[in-house]
Amino acid sequence: MLRFGLVLKKAVQVIITLFAVITFNFLLFRVLPGDPIRLIARAGNLSPEAISRLRDLFGLDKPLVTQYFYYLRNLFTGEFGMSYTYRRPVIDILQERIANTVILLAAATVIVVLIGVAAGVIAAARRGSKTDQSLVVTSLVFWSLPTFWTGLILVILLGVYVKAFPVSGITTPGASFDSSFARLLDLGKHLVLPTITLAIVDMGQFMLITRSTLVDVLTEDYILTGKAKGLPFRRVLWGHAVPNALLPIITTTALYVSLVIGGAIQVETVFSWPGMGRLMYDAVLRRDYPILEASFLFLAATVILANFLSDIMYMVIDPRVKEA
């Protein structure tokens, strides 16, 4: 099924790309104007001695090349250095944030892809009908909604007026739980609004891609053959047409994961979700290089891995890709 050599080649490409990203991340933030210490020094009215001790502590007084090697060393020890702001190892700070972002992302991606693809299949199967038209229009309208605004509207409708779901955070403040099930349920409740927001705004693209691909596939001769053989339409659709329309959907999913990991920042802000978004925003303002470097590495790695996985999926699904 899979050609091992090809996978290996892809894997090597991934590693090279990651290393380029690592180096680029280091340079990117140091090229930015600004200085991590200056605002700290203003806020604390620090003496020159105190400032130079901080610079020494963070290695900021060293030449760029030395700083780069410190950075690589911190990266390979898995500690990612120490945050200038929070004064603790970056990995401690990031772990939990990444977990939270991934939870949100996983929930949203699954919902978005399932609903989007299902709607796309329904629309394509009934091309030209009222159902098709209204699905297309709805998708386009939803797709055009700003994420931030949609989130706020949901907060006001479902959070403040109806009070159906919590509007902020990941757990109920001050709550203690009898069981891990109760804890999970609490988390689930907090997930509802952010997930719905992402679903509303993002499912349109999946619906439209699925629909247009499927519409193409449905005009193929073998579909006609299938129908002519007397197969039920349902069978023709799900057994023959949909599998052949999967490739673009996988590409879109890979792209979506890459996009939403950055784009979820808006949803995280609206719903006070303790993910990567706020942390990165503050880190940019404070020039907290170690946090920025580690976060951007994580983002880049996610994008690269999503693409790698979609390449592999291609090979599994489409035999022609193996020859390439």
Partner 1 sequence: MFPFRRTLFFVLSFSLLLGACAPATTSPTAAPPAAPTIAPAQPTAAQPGAVAPTAPSQPVKEAILRVGWASEPDTMNPLTTYSTEAQEIIQLIYDKLLDYDSSFKTTPTLAKEFSYSPDGLSITFKLRDNVKWHDGQPFTADDVVFTYKLIKDNELGQYAQWLVDLTSATSPDAGTVVLTFAKPQAFNPGLVIPILPKHIWSSMSATDIETFANDQPVGTGPFRFVDWKKGTELTLERNSDFWGSQPAASKIIYILYGNEDVMAQALKGGDIDIITEVPPTIWDGLVDTPDVKAAALPSFSFHHIGFNVSAEPTSLGNPLLKDKVIRQALSYALDRNQLVQVALAGHGKPGDTIIPIGITDWHLAIPADQAMDAKPDKAKEILDAAGYTDTNGDGVRESKDGKPLQFRLIAIETTSVDVRAAQLFRDAAEKVGIKLDLQTLDENTLGNTVYNTDAPDWDIFVWGWDSGVMDPNYMLGVPLCSQIGGNNDVFYCNNEYDGLYDQQSTTLDVAARKQIVDQMQKMFYDDAAYLVMWFQDKLQAYRTDTWQGWKEIPGGLVYNLTRDNYLNITPAK
Which tokens go with 227? Answer: 């129908």
Rounded-to-integer distance, Cα 136 and Cα 192, Å: 25
Single out the residue of 12, 146, 282, 322 in contact with partner 1 (rule: CB under 8 A): 282
Nearest distance in Å: CB 311, partner 1:
16
Which lies closer to partner 1 via its Cβ, residue 29 or residue 71?
29
Helix 276-286 to helix 246-270 angle, to the nearest 10 degrees?
60
Report the nearest approach of partner 1 to the CB of residue 12 (Å).
Answer: 27
End-to-end CA gap in the chain: 14
Q: Which of 5, 45, 128, 144 binds partner 1 (CB under 8 A)?
A: 45
The stretch among 11-19, 43-51, 62-70, 134-142 that binds partner 1 (CB under 8 A) is 43-51
- Output the DSSP codes for 237-273: IIIIIHHHTHHHHHHHHHHHHHHHHHHHHHHHHHTT-
224 binds partner 1, rule: CB under 8 A: no
CB atoms under 10 Å from CB of 3, counted, come to: 12
The one segment of 23-31, 126-134, 173-181, 210-218 that binds partner 1 by CB under 8 A? 173-181
287 binds partner 1 (CB under 8 A): yes
Nearer to partner 1 by Cβ, of 204 and 275: the residue is: 275
Tell me: does residue 279 bind partner 1 (CB under 8 A): yes
**Position among 5, 63, 78, 174 found at the interface with partner 1 (CB under 8 A):** 174
* Interface with partner 1, residue 251, by CB under 8 A: no
Minimum distance from residue 176 beta carbon to partner 1 (Å)? 6
What is the size of the binding site for partner 1 (CB under 8 A)? 87
The distance of closest approach from Cβ of residue 91 to partner 1 in the complex, given in angstroms and rounded to an integer, is 13
- The alpha-helical segments, DSSP class H, found in the chain are 4-31, 38-44, 48-58, 64-76, 90-125, 130-144, 147-154, 180-217, 221-228, 233-235, 242-244, 246-270, 276-286, 289-317, 319-323
Only segment of 21-29, 138-146, 213-221, 238-246 that touches partner 1 (CB under 8 A)? 238-246
Q: Tokens for 163?
A: 């009070």
Residues 55/62, Cβ–Cβ less than 8 Å: no
Q: Examine residue 160 and tell whether it contacts partner 1 (CB under 8 A).
A: yes
Q: Which is nearer to partner 1, 35 or 66 (CB)?
A: 35
Nearer to partner 1, 136 or 217 (CB): 217
Q: 167-195 b/e with 16+ CB inside 10 Å = b?
A: beebeeeeeeeeeeeeeeebeeebbbbbb
Site for partner 1 in 117-146 (CB under 8 A): none
Q: With binding defined as CB under 8 A, does residue 30 bind partner 1?
A: no
Q: How far is the CB of 86 from partner 1 (least distance, A)?
A: 6
Going by C-alpha positions, the residue among 94, 151, 112 that lies closest to residue 274 is 94
Among 75, 90, 105, 113, binds partner 1 (CB under 8 A): 113
Binding residue for partner 1, selected from 63, 65, 176, 234, defined by CB under 8 A: 176
**Is residue 34 a contact residue for partner 1 (CB under 8 A)?**
yes
Q: The tokens 């907290």 sit on which residue?
A: 288
Q: 89 pairs with which residues across the strands? A: 82
Question: In Å, what is the CA distance from 126 to each residue of 142, 143, 229, 280?
Answer: 21, 21, 21, 45
Cα atoms in the Cβ-side hemisphere of radius 13 Å centred on 281: 12
- Whichever of 44 and 146 has its CB closer to partner 1, that residue is 44
